Amino acid sequence: MHLVIAIDGPAASGKSSVARALAYSFGFAYINTGAMYRAATWQVLRRGVDPLDEAAVAAAMEASQIVTGLNGLKESTITLDGDDPTPFLRDEAINHHVSNVSTVPRVRELLVARQRAYAERDDIVMEGRDIGSAVFPQTPYKFYVDASPEVRAQRRAAQGEGDSIAQRDRIDSTRRASPLMIAEDAQVIDSSRLTIEGVVGEIIGRLKLKRFPLPPLARLTRE
Ligand code: CDP
């Protein structure tokens, strides 16, 4: 298996920007698992399936051709039945339903298998809710990026999105199948008063302490 840096955290904690920046500076692939659950939600909605009907959601995803990969920037991609849902992933309807679709165990199984497959081919930075706790529990490099509820609500509003993050956090944290949680051995970083660069710097510092094999390029740019 390749190197895996797991970054988990609640909605709008800044983990996407941090994970992308870290992956870019190390030359690792950046895997956005939230985008995969958002894509599944898009598929369920466009197939006219009730997102609250667990059995129907599972059946719709079983019947879908899910193809994951990497683009030229080494960022994760996904298509469903040949179609790319990227332009729709931040739509309000997706924000509204994604946490319900994500509670369905079969949906998680189908997507987690693809998430794990990425590490068979590349060193990766993977962000999500359950990466350190369930997808790659064995990686020693796991972080939980948090921020106060006020800061997170402000960040999401500044992105101009209609998104009830408190409601998503509640569903994500209380679901039975791999809920959002702080893995026992995760390092928690409060990003409330830090910039993206500040959080990335903090993570690199902590990786060094853990004797993480920093790629030569990353080491060069920091010396
Ligand atoms: O970027 P944001 O914080 O808004 O959320 P996201 O990372 O795009 O994730 C959207 C939703 O997908 C979350 O609220 C979870 O319901 C679900 N998700 C999950 O269940 N497991 C993951 N590993 C990643 C996301």
pLDDT in tens, the chain (223 residues): 899 999 999 999 999 999 999 999 999 999 999 999 999 999 999 999 999 999 999 999 999 999 999 999 999 999 999 999 999 999 999 999 999 999 999 999 999 999 999 999 999 999 999 999 999 999 999 999 999 999 999 988 888 877 789 999 999 999 999 999 999 999 999 999 999 999 999 999 999 999 999 887 665 554 4
User: Which residue, by CA, sits nearest to atom 7 of ligand 1?
Assistant: 34
Query: Residue 186 carries which DSSP code?
Result: P
**Torsion, Cα of 4, 207, 27, 11 (10° steps):** 70
User: Which residue, by CA, sits nearest to atom 5 of ligand 1?
Assistant: 11
What are the structural domains, with CATH classification, of the chain? 4-219 (3.40.50.300)
Mutate to test the pocket of ligand 1, among 18, 37, 92, 180 (most ligand atoms within 8 A of CB): 37
Ligand 1: atom nearest CA of 89 is: 8
The response to whether residue 39 sits with its C-beta less than 6 Å from ligand 1 reads: no
Contact (Cβ atoms closer than 8 angstroms) between residue 68 and residue 114? yes
- Amino acid residing at 93: A
Residue-wise pLDDT for 113-170, tens only, equals: 999 999 999 999 999 999 999 999 999 999 999 999 999 999 888 888 777 899 999 9
Q: What is the pTM of this model?
A: 0.95
DSSP 3-state assignment of 138? Answer: coil
Contact (Cβ atoms closer than 8 angstroms) between residue 108 and residue 177? yes
pLDDT of residue 7: 98
pLDDT of residue 215: 81
Distance in Å, CA 17 to ligand 1 centroid: 14
Please give the distance of CA 190 from its chain centroid, rounded to a whole number: 17
pLDDT of residue 218: 63
Half-sphere exposure of 192 (CA within 13 A, CB side): 9
Runs of H (alpha helix) within 71-163: 92-101, 105-118, 149-158
Contact (Cβ atoms closer than 8 angstroms) between residue 118 and residue 127? no
Beta-strand pair 76-80/66-70? antiparallel
User: Which residue, by CA, sits nearest to atom 8 of ligand 1?
Assistant: 34
